[in-house]
């Protein structure tokens, strides 16, 4: 009887339980996150300060080129806050996706030596990106408070929900491209192209109303992008509360109709679907990771 109970608790060696294994091995996940952070800043003088440098420089370039030279701040009140709120979110997603795509290949030595739930590596990459994201959000909070921003329960919940949705999206795409990248290294180049397009394919530098005027009947396709919805939620939570009464009534500053009633739930469905496809692809291809690496 005891032997039967023991056998029932055993699993086939190398058999993956998917993302459930990540939860069961939370301690290993913490170790991987710490390792990734230490490796990234090993030998660096500035260390984690570099996580501030990239969004800061990106913000400066976009603000000068678009805000000043093209006068985007003339049509968008508090344009610096509008711009930075989108940049910090996009940077989190692009960093998470890029690192998750390369996570399996970059950890080839560890994967060939011992068995770990393979999903740990893409998930750990997303957690590392989240650790870089939080200090940037703190800077955004301080700036918004200076401009009169007052947080509400709904705005905080909306920001957390948007962040979680993007994290899940990054995990789903990271699992998908991370697995394919083991077999076809061109996947890295494809992901780099997608990352380059993300900033321009979401309302980070421009208003959603400008897209609606151009796309017309095809605007709903643009809204199905979870990245677009997450950025619009951040603008609703951080940027709009800094506007005054006259600015809030302007058509250019209006929130996209149905943001929370329609588009956010649809973006959540798309995100879950991508996660399931990514997990399915990863589970099928991870069986031969060690041999291919």
Give the per-residue pLDDT at 292.
73
Whether pTM > 0.75 for this model: the answer is yes
**Angle at alpha carbon of residue 77, lines to 83 and 195, rounded to 5°:** 15
Residue 179 burial (CB count, 10 A)? 25
For 107-160, what is each residue's pLDDT tens digit? 888 888 777 788 888 999 999 988 888 888 888 888 888 888 888 899 999 999
Q: Is the pLDDT score of 206 beyond 60?
A: yes
> Does 158 fall in a domain?
yes
List, in sequence order, every beta strand (DSSP E) within the chain. Answer: none
Instruction: Name the token pair of 109.
Output: 């030595």
- The answer to whether 53 touches 46, Cβ cutoff 8 Å, is yes
- The answer to whether 164 touches 265, Cβ cutoff 8 Å, is no
Residue ranges making up the domain that contains 22: 16-292
Give the per-residue pLDDT at 3.
47
For 233-261, what is each residue's pLDDT tens digit? 999 999 999 888 778 877 778 889 999 99
> Does 2 fall in a domain?
no
Total domains in the chain come to 1
Give the per-residue pLDDT at 236.
94
> Does 60 fall in a domain?
yes
Give the per-residue pLDDT at 7.
45
Entry field: residues in the chain: 293
Give the per-residue pLDDT at 5.
47
> Does 146 fall in a domain?
yes
> Does 5 fall in a domain?
no
> Does 113 fall in a domain?
yes
> Does 272 fall in a domain?
yes
C-alpha distance across the termini of the chain, in Å? 42
For 34-53, what is each residue's pLDDT tens digit? 887 777 766 565 666 666 77
């Amino acid at each position: 009887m005891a032997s039967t109970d023991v056998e029932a608790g055993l699993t086939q060696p190398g058999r993956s339980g998917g993302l459930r294994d990540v939860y069961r091995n939370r301690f290993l996940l913490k170790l991987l996150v710490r390792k990734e952070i230490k490796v990234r800043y090993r030998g660096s003088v500035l260390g984690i300060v570099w996580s501030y440098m990239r969004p800061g420089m990106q913000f400066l370039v976009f603000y000068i080129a678009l805000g000043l030279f093209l006068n985007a701040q003339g049509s968008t009140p508090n344009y610096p806050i509008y711009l930075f709120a989108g940049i910090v979110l996009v940077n989190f997603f692009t960093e998470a996706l890029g690192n998750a795509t390369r996570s399996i290949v970059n950890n080839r030595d560890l994967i060939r030596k011992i068995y770990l739930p393979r999903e740990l590596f893409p998930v750990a990459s997303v957690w590392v990106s989240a650790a870089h994201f939080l200090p940037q959000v703190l800077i955004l909070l301080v700036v918004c408070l200076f401009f009169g921003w007052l947080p509400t329960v709904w705005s905080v919940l909306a920001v957390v929900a948007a962040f979680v949705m993007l994290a899940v999206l990054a995990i789903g795409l990271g699992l998908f491209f991370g697995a394919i990248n083991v077999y076809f290294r061109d996947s890295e180049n494809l992901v780099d192209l997608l990352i380059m397009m993300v900033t321009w394919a979401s309302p980070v530098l421009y208003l959603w109303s400008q897209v609606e005027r151009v796309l017309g009947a095809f605007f709903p396709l643009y809204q199905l992008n979870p990245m677009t919805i997450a950025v619009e939620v951040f603008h609703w939570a951080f940027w709009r509360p800094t506007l005054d009464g006259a600015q809030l009534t302007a058509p250019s500053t209006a929130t996209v109709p149905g943001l929370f009633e329609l588009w956010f739930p649809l973006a959540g469905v798309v995100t879950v679907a991508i996660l399931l496809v990514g997990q399915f692809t990863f589970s099928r291809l991870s069986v031969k990771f060690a041999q291919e690496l």
